[in-house]
Structure 1
Amino acid sequence: MAEDLLHNWEKKAAERQKEYARFLKRAEKNKVLKQLPDLHEEAFEKVDCLQCANCCKNYSPRFKTPDIKRISKHLRMKEGEFIDKYLNLDNEGDYVVKTKPCPFLGADNYCSIYEVRPSDCERFPYTDEDVILKRPHLTLKNSTFCPATYYVLEKLLVAK
């Protein structure tokens, strides 16, 4: 069943954006939040991020001040140096990587700063927290490139 669900998921996710949007808008928050931990875990039993890495290849996390401090220290760089070398300010005033794919993504899809990665990376794709409902625009976007987000939304739709 899960393999069928994930087969051709990009096309299916694109086709179901309106349905996902309606669901996220009307979802019973407490009912959904109770389901998320198990669905999140189930999704990651089926999806191997190292086979995908779409998030690292096409998007950037926000680098918050604690992330910048931690990562620059890990890289033995001054914070300003780290920012100049790797980051830009986006139109929302957040620091994001200058290049895509992420400069810390290796050819093997492993992250070279995994242990100190930005909190956005650690939390992504937010399928085990209320962000999935609080930021529906982000959830919809994530469902178009993250098979785990797609999987969780599909399972939520079936369970409603």
Structure 2
Amino acid sequence: MAQEHPYPLPASWEKTAAEHAKRYKQWLQRANVKKVMKELPDLHEEAFSKINCLACARCCRNYSPRFKTPDIKRISKRLRMKESAFIDTYLRLDEDGDYVVKSSPCPFIGDDNACSIYEDRPSDCARYPYTDEDVLVKRPALTLKNTTVCPAVFYVMETLTTQ
């Protein structure tokens, strides 16, 4: 059974995020990166004090991170598999030439939304959802997509765009 979010998200936050996409996009286009970067650490902490990833796991259930060479080496070692066997078992090359998981949800997520390789997860997973990085402003298309995937990104963007 998934855990509850301590922050009462609007029932249709994904729909609200989609409806606010134009506002977010306009804000991202004119955002002062230095100013935003000063605000992000506190906003990131605030978002994750209110939002429980284990209650959601939409990222793990719907998308795949890129598995870079260091990730593949580290995870295959943890799983006691040869790198080639790990790749053959779990990964495929996407249209950009990046290794991603073969299917959704991620094969490493459990029924409780916990990750079985959490300590060795890909760097993309460790960094996601980029709410404490300049990626939030510098990759607006990704941020806009993530507002409908991750409640923390929705929370950060709602806060930033309504100040």
TM norm structure 1: 0.95
Equivalent-residue separation in structure 1 for 2:68 and 2:76 (angstroms): 12
Structure with greater helix share of residues: 1
Matched, 1:46 2:47: no
Equivalent in the alignment of 1:120: 124
Q: Would you say the 8 A contact 2:7–2:51 is kept in 1?
A: no
**Deviation >3 Å, runs of 4+:** none
| 2:110 aligned residue | 106
Task: Show the 5 A alignment for 1:45-124.
Answer: 45-124=49-128
Structure 2 gaps, min length 5: 1-5
SS of 1:88's equivalent in the other structure is strand
SS in 2 for 1:60: coil
Alignment: residue pair count: 157
What's the counterpart of residue 32 of structure 1? Answer: 36
Query: Aligned-pair distance for 1:3?
Result: 4.5
1:14 aligns with 2:18: yes
Looking at structure 2, the residues matched to 42 and 17 of structure 1 have their Cα atoms a distance apart, in angstroms, of 22
Shift of 1:57: 0.2
Amino acid at match of 1:66: P
Q: Which structure 1 residue ranges, 5 or more long, are not aligned?
A: none
Q: CA deviation at 1:11?
A: 1.5
**Secondary structure, in 3 states, of the residue corresponding to 1:145?**
coil
1:19-64 CA-to-partner distances (Å, cap 9, x unmatched) read 1111111101111110000000000011100000000000000000
* Paired AA for residue 56 in structure 1: C
Q: CA RMSD in A?
A: 1.1
Q: What TM-score do the two structures reach when normalised by structure 2?
A: 0.94
Distance of 1:104 and 1:3 partners within structure 2: 26
